Amino acid sequence: MVEISEISEESETGTQKKPDNVDKKPTLDGAPQLPPGMADFAGKSADKMLEELRSTPFFMENYDQKKDLGDNSQLEALKALQAEEKPSDRADHLRSRGNDFYRQKNYKEAIKCYTEGINVKCGMNYVDAALYLNRAACNLMLKNYRKCIDDCEECLKLQPKNLKAFYRIGNAYFKIERYDQAEIALKTAFSIDKKSKAVRSLLAKVQDKKQKIKKAKEEKEKMLLEKKEKEDNVKKALKIRNYTSISTTLPEDVPDSSELHLEDPKDCRSQLIMPAVILYPTTNEFDFVGEVSELSTPLQLTEMLMDRPEEYFNDGKHQNFRPKKLATYLESNSGGMIKVGKKVMFSNALSKAPLFDGILRVYIVPKVDSEKWLSSWDKKKALSRRSNN
């Protein structure tokens, strides 16, 4: 028997049934209605939708184990898959994720990934070596130089000829100015690959630094040696002449460039040159002269000091300060005073009058005031100003 199909009125007239959703109104902003699988998102903002998506396993960025109640079937399924994942695949996945963070210059997050990968302990040397090496690169960028070196050394335990590990060790040591260690690491890297431009460039910088340091050290040693030789010759010169230089409780504050020295630093018998403090006790004034020869005289010194405008001598205080009206004194070894004649060289008096901290101390007093000033001189007080050394 032939089966007969019933023909409806619609099929006879040629009209077709409308799709179910033709008469449904569009959602806000003219967007079509969401498909049934996303109906739960209807009427929600984009931020709210993104927040809910991130709570699902496939869009999840962070996983808080404390909030996991075990009621998410999708998450449980993914965790089960993860449990079945090979340790080497898991570690390599973390390495790859860390590399993504590294390219974004997010070095701290990259370190977390590499560390997690290391903790997997996958047992695959090439994977673990890469994790240590990449973590070292992050530590280098973060200026954690000691950690960088440690990671590179762990890498080398797994891959003893890893070029990048030796290069990064060299770079880290270079940054902390440990140039000997940097050179050793970079020379090892160079022996592995002599064509590496990075290794050759950094090695050249290290060796240049070492050369500059060596040169600076040699120059400093030479300078110190010359200084000691000068000081020794000055001591010999004082001894030969029977001069003394005593220390005081309050050394004079003089320029660094002014010091007791010989005209010829290598000849202790050459002329001795001294810095000098010139005191004018009657007016409470002083002068400082950087160089005074032991062969000069008080007259020569006062003529140089009193080469001043006429107003200086007409001010009511210095009318008796013309060279021929002045007397010159030195403090004696015993604390008293020694008068030095105008044309007597200082060398003739210095066997009886000491230098103070290597400085010639000269008292210049107008002749008319000399007697009064000398009577007020306190020998004990003068000696008390000297050091016991």
Q: What is the pLDDT of residue 150?
A: 97
Choose one of 148, 180, 210: the last residue of a domain: 210
pLDDT of 293 > 50? The answer is yes
Residue 202 and residue 89 share a domain:
yes
Token pair in block for residue 104: 């974004």
CATH code of 359's domain: 3.10.20.90
Residue 283 and residue 200 share a domain:
no
| In a domain? residue 222 | no
Helices (H), the chain: 9-13, 46-53, 73-84, 87-103, 107-120, 125-141, 145-158, 163-175, 179-192, 197-241, 298-305, 310-313, 367-375, 379-384
| In a domain? residue 39 | no
| In a domain? residue 94 | yes
What is d(CA 223, CA 305) in angstroms, rounded to the nearest whole number? Answer: 34
What average pLDDT score do residues 84-111 get?
Answer: 91
Tally the C-alpha atoms within 13 A of residue 146's C-alpha that lie toward its C-beta: 0
| In a domain? residue 67 | no
Tens digit of each residue's pLDDT (9 = 90 or more) over 209-246? 999 999 999 999 999 999 999 999 999 999 999 999 99
Number of domains in the chain: 2
DSSP 24-55: SPP-GGGPPPPPGGGGGGTT--HHHHHHHHTT
Could you give the percent of the chain with pLDDT greater than 70? 77
| In a domain? residue 351 | yes
Range of the domain at 140: 85-210
What average pLDDT score do residues 37-52 get?
Answer: 66
Average pLDDT, the chain: 85
Tens digit of each residue's pLDDT (9 = 90 or more) over 248-264? 876 666 666 689 999 99
Token pair in block for residue 42: 């209807």
Tens digit of each residue's pLDDT (9 = 90 or more) over 317-351? 999 999 999 999 999 999 999 999 999 999 999 99
Q: What is the pLDDT of residue 22?
A: 44
Residue 371 and residue 306 share a domain:
yes
Residue 359 is classified by DSSP as B
Note the pTM of the prediction, 2 decimals.
0.60
Token pair in block for residue 51: 């927040």
The label of the residue with tokens 């020869």 reads 293
- Evaluate whether 299 touches 323 at the Cβ level (below 8 Å): yes
| In a domain? residue 56 | no
Q: What is the pLDDT of residue 384?
A: 87
Q: Which of 109, 134, 131 is nearest to 122 (CA)?
A: 131
Calculate helix-pair angle for 87-103, 125-141, nearest 10 degrees: 20
The confidence band for 12, taking pLDDT boundaries of 50, 70 and 90, is very low
Choose one of 191, 210, 229: the last residue of a domain: 210
Choose one of 210, 242, 270: the last residue of a domain: 210
Who wins on pLDDT, 353 or 23?
Answer: 353
The confidence band for 294, taking pLDDT boundaries of 50, 70 and 90, is very high
CATH code of 135's domain: 1.25.40.10
Count of CB atoms situated within 10 Å of the CB of 275: 22
Planar angle of CA 177, 183, 186, nearest 5 degrees: 120
Q: What is the pLDDT of residue 249?
A: 72
What is d(CA 294, CA 267) in angstroms, rounded to the nearest whole number? Answer: 15
Tens digit of each residue's pLDDT (9 = 90 or more) over 164-177? 999 999 999 999 99
What is d(CA 220, CA 325) in angstroms, rounded to the nearest whole number? Answer: 50
Dihedral angle sign, alpha carbons of residues 228, 234, 239, 244: negative
Residue 286 and residue 198 share a domain:
no
Q: Which range (284-298, 299-313, 375-389) has the least confidence?
A: 375-389
Tally the C-alpha atoms within 13 A of residue 107's C-alpha that lie toward its C-beta: 12
What is d(CA 5, CA 3) in angstroms, rounded to the nearest whole number? Answer: 7
- Highest averaged pLDDT of the listed ranges 17-21, 24-28, 179-183: 179-183
Token pair in block for residue 115: 């560390």
